[in-house]
Amino acid sequence: MVRFEHVSKVYAGGQKAVDDLSLTIERGEFVCFIGPSGCGKTTTMKMINRLHEPTAGTISVNGQDIMQMDPVELRRSIGYVIQQIGLFPHMTIAQNVELVPRLLGWDAARRQQRINELMPMVGLDPAIYRDRYPKELSGGQQQRVGVIRALAAEPDLILMDEPFGALDPITRETLQDELKRLQAKLKKTIIFVTHDMDEALKLADRIVVMKEGRAHQVATPEELLRSPKDEFVAQFIGRDRLSENPSTLLVREIMHRRLVTVDPKHGIAEAVVTMRQRHVNSVLVTDEQDRLLGIVTAKEIEEVKRGTVADVMRTDVPTVLPDAHARDAIGRMYLDGLDHLPVVDEQRVLVGLITRSSVAEVLSRSAWQDGGAA
C-alpha cells in the first residue's frame, strides 16, 4: 500500500529530518510512528501526502510514485486528521464532513447519504448535529467529526497526526476505543503519529520507533514489549511500566471493571442503542443475578434484525476466573485470537473483563522481566 525506499528529507541548512528510511506498510494495516521530539515521525507522515517532499528516495502509494502524481489529487485521495482538528468554523458539521466529496464532484444525494452513514458511526445523530457549527460541539465531538471527515470520500489510506493529543484522558480513551472499533469494521490503512506509547500499544498492528530520522525498531506491540532492541527503546517504553513481575499478578489485578451488559429479554434495537451509547461493537449478556449468559456482537445483530438478545447471543463464551494467573489468561487470549476475555466467579457471576489494552499494560511490565532487553 505504502512503500518508502531509501527516503531522506534534508531541510535548508543541512538539517536531516529523515535518514534513508525503507519501510513497507501493507493494505489494511494500522501502523504507529512514535519517538522523541525531532525524531522525524511527523515529517515522515507529511511526505506521504507531499506536505513535505522527500529530498531523496521514493515513496509509492498503491505502486505509484507520489512525485508523479498531482499533489492536490493525491491529498484528496488520502484521509488526514490532525491534532488541531481543522474544522472550518463557518461551515456546519455536515458541510465539513462533505467537503472532500464535494470537491471530488459527488452529487448532493450521494453526499447526504454519506453524511447520514458516517455520523452515527461516531455517536453523532445527524438529525441533531448536522446543522450545528463546530463551536457548538465539545472538543471530543469535534475530533469525531475530524475522523469521519477523513473517511468521507472513502479513502483507502488515512494519515493521523497526534489526533487525540489535545484531549482530556477520558475523552482520549473513548476516541481510541472508537477508532479501534471503526478500524475493525472498515479495515483502512492507517498511519498514526503519536508521542504516547500507551496509545501506540493499544492501537497499532505494528509500531515504528523513530530515532534521529531512522526507523530504529519496527515490531508488533507484543514483539516490542518482549524484546526491545536496546536501552533507548526500553526507556521509551518506560521503566515505571516494566517494574512489576507479571508471574505474580492475578487476573483480578489487570481486569477492567467497566462492563457493558444487556438483559437477554431486551430487544435487538435496545442492544444496538447500548452499543452506540457506549461505543462498543459487542455486549455481554447477563441475568438478574449478573451471571454471564452469552455475548452479542454487532455483526450478529446486522444479520438478524428482529427478536430479542436471547435469540442471537452466543453462549460458548470463553471465560477465566479472577484468581487465575494473568500470564496464563494472556497466553490463552493470543492463542485463541480473542479480543477480550470475560472474568467470572465460581457461580459464573460476571466480575470483570480482560481486553487487549489491559494485556498491553501487563506485557509492558513483563518485557524486562523476560530478559528481552538483556
Mean pLDDT across the stretch 241-258?
66
Q: Cα–Cα distance between 78 and 150 in angstroms, integer?
A: 8
User: Of the given ranges (3-17, 26-40, 71-85), which has the lowest mean pLDDT?
Assistant: 71-85
Nearest to 150 by CA among 209, 203, 192: 192
Percentage of the chain lying above the pLDDT 90 cut: 49
User: What burial letters (b/e) apply to 166-183, b meaning 16+ CB within 10 Å?
Assistant: ebeeebbbbbbbbbbbbb
User: What burial letters (b/e) apply to 271-288, b meaning 16+ CB within 10 Å?
Assistant: bbebbeeebbbbbbbbee
The domains of the chain are located at 2-240, 247-364
Mean pLDDT across the stretch 237-265?
71
Q: Which residue has the higher pLDDT, 250 or 28?
A: 28
Judge contact between 248 and 366, C-beta under 8 A.
Answer: no
The reported pLDDT for the residue numbered 242 is: 43
Residue 42 CB: number of other CB atoms within 10 A?
21
The reported pLDDT for the residue numbered 281 is: 78
Q: Cα–Cα distance between 292 and 349 in angstroms, integer?
A: 6
Q: Mind listing the pLDDT tens digit for each residue in 138-168? A: 988 998 999 999 999 999 999 999 988 878 7
Across 197-201, 240-244, 355-359, the highest mean pLDDT is recorded for 197-201
Residue 305, helix vs strand vs coil:
coil
pLDDT level of residue 372 (50, 70, 90 thresholds) = very low
Total H helices, total E strands in the chain: 17, 15
| pTM across the whole model | 0.66
Residue 153 grid coordinates: 470520500
One-letter amino acid at 5 equals: E
Mean pLDDT across the stretch 241-260?
68
Q: Cα–Cα distance between 145 and 121 in angstroms, integer?
A: 10
The reported pLDDT for the residue numbered 374 is: 32
- Per-residue 3-state assignment (H helix, E strand, C coil) for 9-54: EECCCCCEEEEEEEEEECCCCEEEEECCCCCCHHHHHHHHCCCCCC
Query: So what's the architecture of 2-240 in CATH?
Result: 3-Layer(aba) Sandwich (3.40)
Residues making up the chain, counted from first to last:
374
Q: Cα–Cα distance between 225 and 228 in angstroms, integer?
A: 6
Residue 13 CB: number of other CB atoms within 10 A?
5
The dihedrals phi and psi of 136, each to the nearest 5 degrees, come to -90, 0
**Residue 247 predicted with pLDDT over 90:** no
Q: Are β-strands 157-161 and 189-194 bridged in parallel, bridged antiparallel, or unpaired?
A: parallel
pLDDT level of residue 109 (50, 70, 90 thresholds) = very high
**Residue 11 predicted with pLDDT over 50:** yes
CA dihedral (335, 246, 235, 212) in degrees, to 10, reads: 0
User: Of the given ranges (7-21, 28-42, 344-358), which has the lowest mean pLDDT?
Assistant: 344-358
Q: Are β-strands 261-262 and 282-286 bridged in parallel, bridged antiparallel, or unpaired?
A: parallel
Distances in whole angstroms, Cα of residue 284 to Cα of each of 274, 330, 348, 353, 360: 11, 20, 13, 10, 22
The reported pLDDT for the residue numbered 54 is: 96
Mean pLDDT across the stretch 27-32?
96
Mean pLDDT across the stretch 257-277?
85
The reported pLDDT for the residue numbered 293 is: 94
**Residue 371 predicted with pLDDT over 70:** no
Across 161-170, 210-219, 340-349, 352-361, the highest mean pLDDT is recorded for 210-219
pLDDT level of residue 363 (50, 70, 90 thresholds) = low
**Residue 241 predicted with pLDDT over 60:** no
CATH among 3.10.580.10, 3.40.120.10, 3.40.50.800, 3.40.50.300 for 247-364: 3.10.580.10
Across 51-65, 219-233, 340-354, the highest mean pLDDT is recorded for 51-65
